Amino acid sequence: MAVITRSSSSTVISTTPQRFPAKLTNRISSSSVSFPSSSSSVRGRVGWNSSNRMDNKTMKKSVVASAAAGSEVVPAQKLADADALIDSVETFIFDCDGVIWKGDSLIEGVPETLELLRSKGKRLVFVTNNSTKSRKQYGKKFETLGLSVNEEEIFASSFAAAAYLQSIDFPKDKKIYVIGEEGILIELELAGFSYLGGPEDGGKKIELKPGFYMEHDENVGAVVVGFDRYFNYYKVQYGTLCIRENPGCLFLATNRDAVTHLTDAQEWAGGGSMVGALVGSTAREPLTVGKPSTFMMDYLANKFGITKSQICMVGDRLDTDILFGQNGGCKTLLVLSGVTSLSMLQNPNNSIQPDFYTNKISDFLSLKAATV
């Protein structure tokens, strides 16, 4: 969870890792999410129960205290020797938006760069906070852009939401209200959960008349909020009622990204804007399953048997991608082809510094040639 302080000239982000039990990801299969039913450590720490509430005040105090006690920030180095970085790790985890593509446009040099890394025997994994698609749908997008990527190599926050709910033994007789798009619905269905909401509620309106009372399903045990182009007041009110009035109702966010790349022409309001509406109406903070939380990193490390120090996280966002890698103990590389500019990175008030930065991932090609 991040605490963000803004001034007229800068944004300061202070944060601590969101910790998940080590056993959460031990037995997730490629087509479903299955965890040991006897994992008492999971249920004991984050399990679902009828009085489940997050202690937000305690969490915020911890974050602020950690920021105050922060150590000296070491500035990022401009990547000069791509071969040295490539040879130092086994796996590259790539963010997608702003790194591989922008909107529906492939960023120049990406196919050649991925081919280079594969030729060197590197494992490639693609992790996105965008929850609008399922892993299978993202596989089709990669294919459309001319990239050969296996579904097993793709991890979206839509999948992370379903995986988290199974990891805490969320009751199958409870329902999940979704403020988000099809990707979340598909992954919840694959995991065997019942849901309502999603795009279907996009056209619903509330006619406020004297004495009007809005009903909601009292059997909803979790509200999952992700990016939603069909976001409306009906969804805000329905989700709010579930979270505030249903005992123990969980509040999950797939991500809290401020902006996203719907097109390559400009930045658009991201999933954090939808989550923010529910934070305001419920006075509660969600548990975030996407970057920068450690949930997906723990999952990946366990699934592929990777030592985290042998991973390099490549992304365009400081407060999600780079923090995700740092929270997981990985090497980090910031690319300036997306959200973050060089001036933002080098702002004296920015406390999140990657190990390296470069303009785009295809710099692996030119920097390799320069060092021959």
pLDDT at 26 over 50: no
Rounded CA gap, 71 and 75, in Å? 12
Which residue has better confidence, 69 or 234? 234
Q: Give the start-to-end residue ranges of the domains of the chain.
A: 77-124+133-154+292-311+319-333+344-365, 159-288
pLDDT at 16 over 90: no
pLDDT at 221 over 70: yes
Question: What is the mean pLDDT of the segment spanning 283-302?
Answer: 93
- Helix (H/G/I), strand (E/B), else coil: 39: coil
Which residue has better confidence, 16 or 274? 274
Q: Residue 338: which residues within 8 A CB-CB, separation 6 or more?
A: 95, 97, 98, 99, 102, 261, 315, 316, 317
Please provide the CATH number assigned to the domain covering 77-124+133-154+292-311+319-333+344-365. 3.40.50.1000
Q: Which amino acid is at 198?
A: G
Q: Catalytic residue numbers? A: 90
pLDDT at 40 over 70: no
| pLDDT at residue 174 in the model | 98
Task: For residue 49, name the pLDDT band (cuts at 50, 70, 90).
Answer: low
H runs (alpha helix) in the chain: 40-46, 56-68, 82-88, 110-119, 135-144, 157-167, 182-190, 233-245, 271-282, 295-304, 323-327, 342-345, 363-370
Q: For 315, how many CA atoms within 13 A lie in the half-sphere containing its CB? A: 28
| pLDDT at residue 103 in the model | 83
Which position has the token pair 């598909």?
Answer: 186
Task: Give exposure, 162-190, as e/b (b: 16+ Cβ within 10 Å).
Answer: bbbbbbbbbeeebbbbbbbbbbbbbbbeb
| pLDDT at residue 231 in the model | 97
Domain 159-288: CATH superfamily is: HAD superfamily/HAD-like (3.40.50.1000)
Same fold, 77-124+133-154+292-311+319-333+344-365 and 159-288: yes
pLDDT tens profile 151-162: 999 999 999 999
pLDDT tens profile 76-123: 999 999 999 999 999 999 999 999 999 889 999 999 999 999 999 999
| pLDDT at residue 298 in the model | 92
